[in-house]
Structure formats: C-alpha cells, structure tokens
C-alpha cells in the first residue's frame, strides 16, 4: 500500500520484489505477461463538470469509486494450483497494482479533450497464503467480468455524485 515510485514500479514489471530485489514468481519467461490494465472512465459529462468547475469532491468521488471497485476485484483474485496432480484455481484475494489518474484523452489534431479516467495496472503476481509464496495471478475470470466491474464502478460513482447534490441519470444507450 502507499505511493508507487518509478523504481518500485519498474521492479514489479521485472518480476522483482522492490524491497529485496529478489524474483517474485517462480517462472521468469522472456515473453511473460507483466500485468493487466483495469481502466475506469467517468462519463463525458462528469469529465466536463470536473474540468469546468474544479470541484475536487468530483475527483474524490471518482477516486473512491475506483478504489472500492478495485477492492472488490481484489477479493476475487486467484492463482493456479498445479501441485500433486491438481489442476484448479485458488482464491488469494490480493493484488499488487498501481493507479494512474488522467484528466484528458489523447490529443486529436493536437487538442486534448476532458476525460477523467484511471488505469489500475495489476501486476501478474499474487501472494498464495497456502503455499506461502508469490505466484502468477489467474486473471481470466476478472477480465471476463470487465463489463460487470465497469457497471459497478459507474453505479458507485453515480451514487457518490448524487450524494454531492449532482443529478445523475442512466443513459438508455
């Protein structure tokens, strides 16, 4: 927990413990999957509202909604179990991830557009308390359920914004 500095981030990308420099997961392939990006985007109206009003409560509501959704995702994190003839997944309920909040979209013709969004980059590692070691994560179910996570985030954000006195309504599209 806490802030992620560049050195720690790159160590995790290299499958290394940022504190000890030791390898985290047992396997180290050249083409290993470093991690997975979970992206949460505020609706355009919220992005514009934040940009024009500067109401920091909107940003706080956004970040709290991201954090709560990532906490829910974390409870469903798994790793593979392949020892002694097993071929199953075990819930570990822990993730290692870094959050990056952005306020604009990629520029089109050199002009950025308001777009409040967060990338939560989850490293391909999880602590298996049963085996008492770091292992690669099993992200298949989490990524399969991306539509659910996006909807859960949207609902959380809408409820928080309503609590701040902003109107929120579901887009029928």
Whether 170 shows a pLDDT value over 80: the answer reads: no
Residue 173 pLDDT: 65
Q: Over pLDDT 90: what percentage of the chain?
A: 80
pTM for this entry? 0.91
Rounded average pLDDT over 35-63: 96
Rounded average pLDDT over 28-42: 91
Rounded average pLDDT over 1-25: 91
Encode pLDDT of 64-93 as tens digits. 999 999 999 999 999 999 888 888 999 999
Q: In whole angstroms, give the CA distance from residue 166 to residue 118.
A: 21
């Amino acid at each position: 927990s806490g802030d992620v500095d560049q050195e720690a981030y790159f160590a995790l990308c290299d499958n290394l413990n940022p504190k000890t420099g030791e390898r985290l997961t047992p396997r180290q392939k050249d083409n290993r999957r470093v991690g997975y990006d979970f992206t949460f985007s505020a609706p355009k109206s919220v992005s514009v509202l934040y940009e024009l009003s500067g109401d920091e409560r909107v940003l706080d509501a956004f970040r709290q909604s991201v954090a709560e959704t990532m906490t829910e995702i974390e409870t469903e994190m798994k790793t593979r179990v392949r020892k002694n003839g097993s071929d199953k997944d075990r819930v570990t309920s822990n993730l290692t991830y870094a959050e990056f909040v952005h306020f604009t979209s990629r520029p089109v013709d050199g002009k950025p557009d308001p777009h409040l969004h967060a990338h939560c980059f989850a490293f391909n590692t999880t602590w298996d308390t049963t085996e008492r070691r770091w292992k690669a994560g099993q992200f298949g179910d989490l990524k399969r359920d991306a539509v659910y996570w996006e909807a859960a985030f949207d609902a959380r954000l809408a409820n928080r914004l309503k609590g701040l006195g902003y109107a929120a309504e579901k887009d029928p599209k």
